[in-house]
């Protein structure tokens, strides 16, 4: 095979193997090797998938840029120096420029890095049809989330209101065929948006979302049960006076802390991203605002003082031993196995796991019994470890050690008991922590403070705390 013939012969062999996969190889050793190699290439991951997953995980801006090769070559020396610097940084960061550039190979928006700008055009969206008589293939709708880039501290890129919007609801976000409707007309005190689709689209909708400037998931409540995605089909609620062909559903997304959030609505022939900003939150109720405001400041000094039934102290206070209200350790006890406590009230009652131990620091002021259990829920991670601690206080208010600003501390009531929720923060902690006064002090007995924390939503932490409290009722 000459060098000139090679491309056509290889193509012919590949095409033959593609059309008749079981027909065997060509008999030419070299061509057959290429065919086998091509088949192995078909088992490699799609670089677009790799890139989008990386962006989803790390909240990165797209790596791909529409650079014109011509402009790059004829650019000013300053640009060349900047590019060189970028390349050097890439070498340092990622063990070589190739590794970084290779991640950009593929079709995403029809353009490639270093592609001629004029050749760039958006790729056609995937189009499938779902005849009504066939089951819906939800997996096909579960496309990668297309997360808008958001610089740290940057403004939330709130989705614009629909330009032509029917009068049945005050406003819709997005440009169709699916929209977020705000405010919620069905349940103004709970779910804060609805989902609607216009008459142009009749198929199923799959909703997922996440926070763009933090770790919080977007959950969808199905009869009170949190889910990380929502599947919508059928006619929806037709009682809202919407135009013919429009469908409206409840069960829209709920979040628990302020921030910038995105919900992706995937239909059979489109993907719509709706970005919204939540500016104030309780544990279960958040209010949505369409005004762009700055993110939550983490620069404020940590709160210190009384908050409801709790006394918040900082770690600096704790290091100084300034925790007068905590129950003193029994004399002679140090850090040891908690087996001795099994029969006592101090026993940590976590189901399926015993206590890790208890600790009494040298100061003798603190005593706590701690343990952890694995929690399985419907949040994106699906399985998380919950850290559960019971500590004991002798008089007055239970003290919690938290270096957070006041805006992240929310007072609540759980199972009839005072609770303090520490909302999650991208910069400080991806955990939600719930403190509950399991039993107040007084009448000669010490009080019990229960804390539950883990890298899950505050809704999950709250549910776990309630379950724990109900299961450990004396």
Partner 1 sequence: MLNPEELSLERRLVEASRKKPAQFARLYERYFDRVYAFALTRTGDRSLAEDVTAETFRRAFQNIQGFEWRGVPFSAWLFRIASNAALDQLKRSGRQAAAPEGFDGGSLDSHFAEIEERARLSELVQRLPLDQARVLVMRFVKGLSTREVAEATGRTEGAVKALQARALSHLRRWIRESDD
Which residues make up the interface to partner 1 (CB under 8 A)?
6-8, 10-11, 14, 33-34, 37-38, 40-47, 49-50, 53-54, 56-58, 60, 94, 98-99, 101-103, 105-107, 110, 112-114, 116, 119, 139-140, 142, 144, 380-385, 430, 455
- Residue 242 CB, nearest distance to partner 1 (Å)? 34
| Closer CB to partner 1, 99 or 340, in the complex | 99
Pick the closest to residue 438 from 376, 371, 346 (CA basis): 346
The answer to whether the beta carbons of residues 212 and 154 sit under 8 Å apart is no
**Rounded to an integer, what distance in angstroms lies between the CA atom of residue 426 and that of residue 409?**
15
Question: Least distance (Å) from partner 1 to the CB of residue 42?
Answer: 5
Report angle CA 318, 321, 323 to the nearest 5 degrees. Answer: 75
Name which of 104 and 162 has its Cβ closer to partner 1: 104
Our CB check for partner 1 shows the closer of 101 and 136 to be 101
| Residue 200 preceded by cis peptide, ω within 30 | no
Q: Tell me how far the alpha carbon of residue 403 is from its chain's centroid.
A: 24
Is the separation of the CB atoms in 177 and 198 below 8 Å?
yes
Rg, the chain, Cα only: 29
Q: Cβ 157 to partner 1, closest distance in Å?
A: 21
Q: List, as one string, the DSSP characters of 66-108.
A: ---HHHHHHS-HHHHHHHHHHHHHHHHHHT-HHHHHHTT-S-S
Nearer to partner 1, 22 or 118 (CB): 118
Q: Are 372 and 386 in contact (CB under 8 A)?
A: yes
Alpha carbon separation from 286 to 278, 411, 448, 468 (Å, rounded): 7, 14, 30, 25
Task: Name the residue nearer to partner 1 (CB basis): 368 or 431.
Answer: 431
Inter-CA distances, 35 with 19, 20, 44, 411, Å? 12, 12, 15, 66
What is the nearest approach in angstroms of partner 1 to the Cβ of residue 6? 5
Nearest distance from C-beta of residue 185 to partner 1, angstroms: 34
CB of 54 to partner 1, least distance (A): 6
Specify the residue for token string 């919900």: 263
Owner of token pair 């059979």:
268
Which residue, 67 or 168, has its beta carbon nearer to partner 1?
67
Name the minimum Å distance from CB 421 to partner 1.
Answer: 20
Report the b/e string of 193-230 with b at 16+ CB within 10 A. bbbbbbeebbbbbbbbbbbbbbbbbbbbbeeeebbbbb
Q: How far is the CB of 11 from partner 1 (least distance, A)?
A: 5
Q: Which residue has the tokens 């952890």?
A: 372
Cα 392 to Cα 82, 348, 388, 433: the distances in Å are 59, 12, 13, 18
Residue with smaller CB distance to partner 1, 38 or 411: 38
Three-state SS for 250-298 is CCCEECCCCEEEEEEEECCCCEEEEEEEEEEECCCCEEEECCCCCCCCC
Closest to partner 1 by CB, 352 vs 444, is 352
Instruction: Give 81 or 120: the residue with its C-beta nearer to partner 1.
Output: 120
């Amino acid at each position: 095979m000459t060098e000139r013939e090679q491309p056509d012969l290889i193509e012919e062999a590949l095409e033959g193997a593609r059309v008749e996969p079981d027909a065997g190889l060509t008999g030419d050793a070299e061509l057959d090797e290429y065919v086998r190699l091509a088949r192995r290439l078909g088992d490699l991951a799609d670089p677009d998938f790799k890139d989008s997953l990386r962006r989803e995980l790390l909240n990165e801006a797209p790596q791909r840029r529409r650079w014109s090769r011509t402009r790059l070559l004829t650019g000013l020396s300053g640009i060349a120096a900047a590019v060189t610097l970028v390349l050097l940084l890439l070498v340092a960061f990622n063990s070589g420029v190739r590794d970084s550039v290779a991640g950009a190979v593929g079709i995403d928006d029809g353009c490639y890095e270093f592609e001629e700008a004029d050749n760039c055009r958006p790729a056609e969206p995937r189009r499938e049809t779902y005849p009504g008589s066939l089951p819906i293939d939800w997996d096909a709708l579960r496309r990668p989330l297309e997360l808008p880039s958001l610089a740290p501290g940057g403004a939330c890129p709130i989705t614009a209101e629909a330009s032509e919007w029917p009068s049945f609801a005050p406003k819709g976000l997005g440009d169709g065929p699916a929209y977020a409707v705000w405010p919620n007309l069905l349940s103004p005190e709970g779910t804060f948006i609805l989902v609607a689709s216009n008459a142009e689209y009749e198929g199923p909708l799959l909703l997922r979302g996440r926070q763009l400037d933090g770790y919080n998931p977007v959950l969808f409540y199905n009869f009170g049960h949190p889910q990380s995605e929502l599947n919508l089909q059928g006619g929806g609620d037709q009682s809202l006076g919407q135009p013919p062909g429009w469908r409206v559903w409840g069960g829209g997304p709920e979040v628990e802390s302020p921030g910038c959030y995105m919900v992706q609505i995937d239909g059979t022939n489109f993907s719509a991203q709706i970005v919204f900003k939540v500016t104030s939150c309780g544990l279960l109720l958040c209010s949505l605002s369409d005004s762009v405001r700055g993110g939550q400041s983490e620069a404020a000094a940590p709160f210190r003082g009384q908050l409801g039934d709790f006394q918040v102290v900082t770690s600096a206070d704790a290091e100084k031993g300034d925790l007068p209200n905590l129950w003193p350790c029994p004399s002679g006890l140090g850090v040891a196995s908690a087996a001795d406590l099994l029969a006592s009230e101090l026993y940590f009652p976590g189901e399926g796991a015993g206590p890790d131990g208890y600790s009494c620091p040298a100061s003798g002021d603190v005593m706590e019994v701690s343990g952890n259990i694995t929690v399985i829920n419907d949040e994106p991670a699906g399985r998380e470890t919950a850290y559960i601690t019971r500590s004991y206080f002798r008089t007055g208010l239970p003290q919690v050690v938290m270096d957070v600003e006041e805006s992240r501390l929310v007072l609540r009531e759980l199972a009839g008991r005072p609770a303090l929720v520490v909302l999650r923060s991208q910069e400080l902690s991806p955990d939600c922590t719930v403190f509950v006064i399991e039993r107040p002090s007084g009448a000669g007995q010490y009080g019990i403070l229960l804390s539950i924390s883990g890298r899950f939503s505050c809704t999950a932490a709250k549910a776990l705390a309630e379950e724990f409290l109900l299961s450990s009722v004396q």
